[in-house]
Chain A
Amino acid sequence: MNDSQKEPASKFQLRNVKAWYGDNEVLHGVDADIPEHSVTAIIGPSGCGKSTLLRSLNRMHELVDGARVDGQVSMDGVDIYGPKVDPVLLRRQVGMVFQKPNPFPSMSVRENVLAGARLTGTYDPSRADAIVQRALTQAALWDEVKDRLEAPGVSLSGGQQQRLCIARSLAVEPTVLLMDEPCSALDPIATTRVENLVHTLKQDYTIVIVTHNMQQAARVSDRTAFMLSGDLIEFSDTIQLFKSPSDPRTEDYITGKFG
């Protein structure tokens, strides 16, 4: 809400972050501080590197064959590309929600929420019910699915599936939630719900959301980063970026001159 007034601590500090797919450099040295307990939106035209930047924050980028990242990304002051860092443990701290809702097809609603615990070997049957209810409540889905927890996750509507995926991420108790165009496969009503949810979740989480929808960025985020061809052009308070952008390229993009 008006968290943007005070100056929160940085969750992520990016220094000269570069990324490649094979020989193709897709990020040309990005510097940014992403504040804690706030929503940061990354906007820009297709192929500008916004998803790559997002994926460098939980080391998902490097999972693609031939992809690599250079430069420094620290989270809470720890270099997440340090030699002793296990990316698997990092990803338990940094949850991710994807463009297309992807609940596990062989699992029920309940099992989907518990999948993180099962996959990471931290499943505790005595806590399972509480985890399911808490995560689904946080994801604003509990009232809709509490009577069909055993139904397949994929039997829900698209918007419900996406909130199920958010609940699944929250169930492993991360501190950060990365969202990669989470509403692009959803209808307007489902989009509104997810946006409202993002608004509530920033009390407890640091949220970074990639979107191609500028209105969405304006609605949900405290700060907005504008990217173009692998460069971070402008990164400032959302209101300022949309009302009085300091770079002419930002202005051209948000006024619809290209992109």
Chain B
Amino acid sequence: MGSPLSSSLQAAEELPVSARGRAPATGLQLEGRPLRAERLIEFGLFGCAFATVLTTVGIVATLAMEALGFLREVPLSALLLDTAWTPLFVEKHFGIWPLVAGTLLTSAIALGFAVPLGLLAAIYLAEFAHWRTRRILKPALEVLAGIPSIVFGYFALVVLTPLLQEVVPGLAGFNALSPGIVIGLMVIPMIASLSEDAIRAVPGGLREAAFGLGASKLATIFRIVLPSASGGIAASAILALSRAVGETMVVAIAAGQQARLTLDPRVPIETMTAYIVQISMGDTPTGTIEYRTIFVVGAALFLMTLMMNVISHRLTRKRGAA
């Protein structure tokens, strides 16, 4: 009886200090190794994070490969210098500008509508609204953001366009104006929410300083608070622009499918996204030049939104550092 016990005690004393939890109670034991299970979990988590990176890389690689394949057949100069986009016609033209113009037109209308409204909503929420009002308004705004874009698309086509036709002379059944406004509605919550955060992040000390100088509430907001929050507000607008540029369903339904180089918001146009839908859903056979156009358009779209997101990120970071 005595001998096994004493030998096990001895073994315990000779044991290297470890994280096995049964280290002898004498002295302070700090050396240890993480458990193997813990490293396994860490590896699993890394795998999950890495999978998203891998997906992104895969998408970018596919876009780039197919776009390069397209550019081997159609020179870049044709893409950038031609002013007509007719890849499905007998006489094919591959000038991307009509699609870019359509995209920028609807997006500009959207932002022209959403930035003032979103910013004013943000000012109200951050500076004026009682907390009870805010508790109702904020979720309501988020519901607006949660409506599926297909519903917004129908709304543009069957409700807003007929209404607008009453007041806008010469407005076609498919046009840029109506979907532009509806995309604006869709991005208002994003602008309002992000701008509100930016306005709230302005140190209270600056407001107090302005009030202490005898500034009115409006003067304080417009001359002190908004300039200090301008970085975050600009970031929210650019993020909204990125979202508007990438918006697909609304324009596919309500803007028409006629690529044309125009800034007239009353006539049918086609955006980059709507064109991709048209080809993807149509009966264009894979591997053909017509089919490959959607990758070059997709790549261009990706570059545009990537650029905007980077700018937006920079603006937010600058605000954070200041």
Contact = CB atoms under 8 A, between A and B. Distances in A.
Interface stretch (A69-77, A90-98, A126-134): A90-98
Given A65-B131, A98-B205, A58 B228 contact: no
Interface string A17-30: 00000000000000
Contact of A120 (B205, B213, B322): B213
Interface in B197-219: 203, 205-206, 208-216, 219
Contacts of A60: 208, 211-212
B216 A88 contact: yes
Interface residues of B, number: 21
Nearest to A154: B322
Contacts of B219: 119-121
Contacts of B206: 102, 104-105
A146 B33 CA distance: 62
A165 B216 CA distance: 19
B213 A104 contact: no
Contact of A88 (B130, B209, B215): B215
A165 B208 CA distance: 12
A65 B228 CA distance: 22
A67 to B, nearest CB: 13
B215 to A, nearest CB: 4
A106 interface: yes
Contacts of B213: 91-92, 95, 115-116, 119-120, 168-169, 172
A219 interface: no
B209 A102 contact: yes
Nearest to A89: B214
B224 interface: yes
B317 interface: no
Rank and list the top 7 A-B pairs by shortest CB-CB distance, nearest first: A92-B214, A96-B212, A119-B215, A102-B205, A116-B213, A91-B214, A102-B209
9 contacts: A91-B214, A116-B215, A119-B215, A119-B224, A120-B215, A121-B219, A168-B213, A169-B213, A172-B213
